[in-house]
Amino acid sequence: MAYASSGLGMLATSDGWTLWLYKTTDAIATVNTAAYFTGDSVNMLSVRDMIIVADTNAPTTSFVTVLSNDGTTVDVSDGTAVAETDSD
């Protein structure tokens, strides 16, 4: 699929740094592809911002950081998966 602006929301901001939540049906391997984030995200996401990516299909959750924003596309890190186990 492609980036959907309806899935991106700001959670917190402080000292020029922002924490975002992005809900999507795309897997993290798709989301972390260079130029996945385009359109309005270019005007919102800044280098070093953190995004919590929630894949609603799997479901899985990953943390990514914004590595670059050239004014046209945004590139994010590969992602760190959140362990979602329940051993009880």
Query: Which amino acid would we find at residue 66?
Result: V
Residues 6+ apart with CB under 8 A from 22: 7, 8, 9, 31, 51, 52, 53, 54
31's enclosing H/E stretch is helix 28-31
- Name the H helices within 1-88: 28-31, 41-44
Q: Extract the tokens encoding 16.
A: 């020029």
> Tell me, what's the pLDDT at 58?
86
Instruction: For 9-24, write each residue's pLDDT tens digit.
Output: 999 999 999 999 999 9
Q: What is the pLDDT of residue 21?
A: 98
pLDDT band (50, 70, 90) for residue 66: very high
Q: Give me 45's structure tokens.
A: 């996401």
For 17-49, the pLDDT digits (tens) are 999 999 999 999 999 999 999 999 999 999 999
Average pLDDT over residues 53-80: 95
* Residue recorded with tokens 């046209």: 72
**Domain residue ranges of the chain, discontinuous segments joined by +:** 5-79
Query: Mean pLDDT across the chain, nearest whole number?
Result: 94
